[in-house]
Amino acid sequence: MAVIDQPTITLRNGVQMPQLGLGVWRAKDGAEVEHAVRAALACGYRLIDTAAVYQNEAGVGAAIRSSDVPRKDIFVTTKLWNSDQGAKNVRAAFEASLERLGLDYIDLYLIHWPMPKKGLFVETWKEFEKLLAEGKVRSIGVSNFTVEHLEELAKHSETVPSVNQVELHPRFPQEELRRYCSEHDIHVQSWSPIGGQGSDLLDEETLHDIAQDHGKTPAQVVVRWHLQHDLIVIPKSVNEQRIAQNFDVFDFELSDDEMAAIDGLATGQRRGPDPNEFNTA
């Protein structure tokens, strides 16, 4: 299978991050996630996004280690879970993730949720800075942070997150947050990029019409929309055919009118948890 080159994003510390990756949320540890990661690497993906709470880091690591792709060419993201926030917990949680992955370092380490009512994300971030300084991670960032949370972090640290991974799709485009992040050189990464489980986003006539014009699927059109908005995108699948389809988006381009039509699908409605309210440990 010919491997397709894909664009990368240069993070604020100079690290190159692939713009399109595989998300493995809800992929079962063991054979399922290993097969998905191997399939993704085989067709050209070089970004794999997992998290401690997904409970599949071991399978992700096994697939990476068994791959013919050199480790240096694979960008691995994982995330610190909420119950491990706080200065006394971060290092042990990080080392546990590293051990499960079976890797020597992590490319991007994220605080999974701000948990503002817990009030620990600032001290957690200071521990992340130490991991970065020690070279245990190549870059650090956050997930599900709002402008308010990012501003609170900025009051107490000069280290700006490289990435903010948030729910983002045509119906919930997070324009205000994207503007703020762009102004502060924070790259936005989209989770649930095609609407999330149970969404009817892909049934939209607009997407079907655009897809038909390009000989693509509505999902491919949406992935392309993310790429052309300079977003980092991680569609999740364990289906080998769909994994390949989600990556087959570099041979067409959406016009300005098509991008505007997809922008017009915005409802402002969030499908996932509100970061100010989500406090599950």
- Of 17, 36, 272, 54, which Cα lies nearest the Cα of 146? 272
Active site residue 105: no
- Of 9, 12, 10, which Cα lies nearest the Cα of 159? 12
Point out the catalytic residue in the list 45, 54, 109, 180.
54
What 7-15 contacts at long range (C-beta under 8 Å, 24+ apart), as own/partner pairs, is 7/227, 9/187, 9/230, 9/232, 11/139, 11/162, 11/163, 11/187, 12/160, 12/162, 12/185, 12/186, 12/187, 13/138, 13/139, 13/162, 15/107, 15/138, 15/139, 15/162
- CA gap 94, 136 in Å, rounded: 9
Question: Strand, coil or helix: what is 20?
Answer: strand
Beta strands (DSSP E) in 81-237 are 106-111, 137-143, 163-167, 187-191, 232-233
- CA gap 96, 91 in Å, rounded: 9
Which of the residues are catalytic?
54
